[in-house]
Amino acid sequence: MKKTILILTIILLMGQIMGQQPAEQKVLTKDERMAWWREARFGMFIHWGVYAIPAGVWNGREIGGIGEWIMNRGKIPVRDYMEMAKQFNPVKYDPDAWVQMAKDAGMKYIIITAKHHDGFALFKSEASKWNVVDHTVYGKDLLKPLAEACQRHGIKLGFYYSQAQDWVNPGGSAARKLTKEGWPNPDSVIIDAYTKEHNGHWDPAQETRTFAQYIDEVAVPQVRELLTNYGKVAVLWWDTPTGMTDEAATKLQALLALQPEIITNDRLKRPNFPGDHKTPEQRIPNLADLDGTDWETCMTMNNTWGYKSYDHNYKSPQTLIRNLIDIASKGGNFLLNVGPTAEGEFPPESVEILREIGKWMKVNGEAIYGTTASPWGLFDWGRCTKKTTKNGTTFYFSVFNWPQNGKLTIDNFTGKVTSAKLMATGATVKTSLTGKTLNISLPPSSPDPIATVIKVEVIGGKNK
Ligand code: FHN
């Protein structure tokens, strides 16, 4: 009986959605939907919400862990957290400046937390008054101007949506412990807790609705609002399927028909809702971990996704640029996070890092965009990315460790080199073949201490 009701619900939901679809909508293949994403390779993650107000401190005490988890880690009562949120007033919010900084850094898409686990919606929602328009002094939708700015700048916009965890809208689940990757603790006791209604909650106010009611009354209508009210949405980035059920996941997945070109990730519910790409977090997979599925590493610049006033432990531009190259050389995407302040500004350290990344991308971006994985795996001196062209293949050898003897060799190389030059200076470099070994002669010092790219164009060959 329950299954019949579910099937009828889905049919009804699909009917509603299809009714909003232009009849001529062509169903795209996955490769067609993923084409821009595989070309882009580099995007900006934005974790922004009322958690930027406490910024890691509550009642004068520093709360450990990632900043956007302060309500959970601090076991803050719902009433107190909501009271704090009223003062959210990002008067310095300038979405055009944000998008320009992402664009100048060489990023091609932006994913912003439309609603994170604290349930606070950065957009006007009829499903819950716990949103920036109805609950804060600021009183304006934050996503609409961002969507307009992305449109103006030709940057794709996606929404992160915490579909299961919601620590304020009653019935939303609450993970109690996270693994180092940020996932709920796989320990059986904890997992068991997730499947029981309300385990993980710390305030009775979180328990006045069931999870199923939360899904129907908050998550489904809000995802529909996000996929209806903001123009074309390029990505729906689900997160932490804590307590998620197949029934709930099926309802949410059905809404994607509102955006036929949309891409989603593997976090709606595992393992039977794989989405379009995997999401290694705060780590870059080893070649052995890769199985041909599209993947995107998401990573913080410091140690927190949401802003914390005292986390100044930022990775260097060198580390982040080399991460980007390493990821591209393995065929993945890099989603690099910024956690804006409560006033609506990127932290100064993030601005500076984005500027430095942009300088490198301005010269070498073609070694990242639209490339595929190296046919030779990794080199101890650096990485390789590849682009198939109509005339043959272009290889981009990114050198991290400049050879003392001025020589690079690449074994198992086939084909004829037609051009070889340093992208940083445009200078031609000498190459030669010894059997199947390509020899590249380099100047005494590296023009770019972070990574000098050697662009080698080849005709023929079987360097797969
Ligand atoms: O719990 C979240 C966390 O706050 C953050 O949003 C990351 C980003 O991928 N995802 C979850 C942890 O895996």
Tens of pLDDT, residues 290-325: 999 999 999 999 999 999 999 999 999 999 999 999
Q: Is 65 in the pocket of ligand 1 (CB under 6 A)?
A: no
Question: What CATH number should be reported for the domain holding residue 394?
Answer: 2.60.40.1180
12 or 341: which carries more pLDDT confidence?
341
* pLDDT (0 to 100) of residue 365: 98
pLDDT of residue 6 exceeding 70: no
pLDDT of residue 189 exceeding 90: no
In sequence order, the β-bridge partners of residue 178 are: 184
Mean pLDDT across 223-240: 98
- Whether 173 and 47 share a structural domain: yes
> With contact defined as beta carbons under 8 Å apart, do 277 and 295 qualify?
yes
- Whether 296 and 429 share a structural domain: no
Q: Is 183 in the pocket of ligand 1 (CB under 6 A)?
A: yes
Residue range of the domain that includes 151: 29-367
* pLDDT (0 to 100) of residue 183: 56
- Whether 122 and 95 share a structural domain: yes
Q: Is 298 in the pocket of ligand 1 (CB under 6 A)?
A: yes
Work out the pLDDT band at 226, boundaries 50, 70, 90: very high
> With contact defined as beta carbons under 8 Å apart, do 129 and 85 qualify?
no
| Distance in angstroms between the alpha carbons of the first and the last residue of the chain | 53
Number of folded domains that form the chain: 2
Of 73, 42, 41, residue with least CA distance to 59: 73
Query: What are the helix (H) ranges across 290-347?
Result: 317-329
- Whether 343 and 417 share a structural domain: no
Query: What is the identity of the amino acid at 78?
Result: V
- Whether 328 and 386 share a structural domain: no
Q: What is the pLDDT of residues 13-65, one digit of tens each?
A: 555 544 444 456 678 999 999 999 999 999 999 999 999 999 999 999 999 99
pLDDT > 90: percent of the chain? 86
- Whether 348 and 407 share a structural domain: no
Q: Is 239 in the pocket of ligand 1 (CB under 6 A)?
A: yes
Atom in ligand 1 nearest the alpha carbon of residue 113: 6
Work out the pLDDT band at 427, boundaries 50, 70, 90: very high
Q: Is 174 in the pocket of ligand 1 (CB under 6 A)?
A: no
Tell me the CA–centroid distance for residue 298 and ligand 1, in Å: 9
Lowest-confidence region among 196-200, 357-361, 427-431: 196-200
From 367, 392, 418, give the residue that closes a domain: 367
49 falls within a domain = yes
Q: What angle do CA 120, 125, 128 make, to 5 degrees?
A: 60
Atom in ligand 1 nearest the alpha carbon of residue 160: 6
* pLDDT (0 to 100) of residue 177: 63
* pLDDT (0 to 100) of residue 193: 43
| Alpha carbon nearest to ligand 1 atom 7, residue | 182
- Whether 361 and 312 share a structural domain: yes
Atom in ligand 1 nearest the alpha carbon of residue 298: 9
Q: Is 305 in the pocket of ligand 1 (CB under 6 A)?
A: yes
Q: Is 73 in the pocket of ligand 1 (CB under 6 A)?
A: no
Mean pLDDT across 157-177: 94
* pLDDT (0 to 100) of residue 191: 42
Mean pLDDT across the chain: 92
pLDDT of residue 187 exceeding 70: no
- Whether 361 and 395 share a structural domain: no
9 falls within a domain = no
- Whether 354 and 403 share a structural domain: no
Question: What CATH number should be reported for the domain holding residue 353?
Answer: 3.20.20.80
In sequence order, the β-bridge partners of residue 388 are: 393
Work out the pLDDT band at 190, boundaries 50, 70, 90: very low
Q: How many CB atoms lie within 10 A of CB 151?
A: 15
- Whether 101 and 229 share a structural domain: yes
- Reduce the DSSP state of residue 171 to 3 states and report it: coil
- Whether 396 and 334 share a structural domain: no
What residues contact 300, with CB distance under 8 A and at least 6 apart? 282, 337, 339
68 falls within a domain = yes
From 68, 240, 282, the mutation candidate for ligand 1 (largest count of ligand atoms within 8 A of CB) is 240
pLDDT of residue 92 exceeding 90: yes
Of 235, 309, 313, residue with least CA distance to 275: 235
Mean pLDDT across 109-137: 98
- Reduce the DSSP state of residue 389 to 3 states and report it: coil
374 falls within a domain = no
205 falls within a domain = yes
| Alpha carbon nearest to ligand 1 atom 12, residue | 182
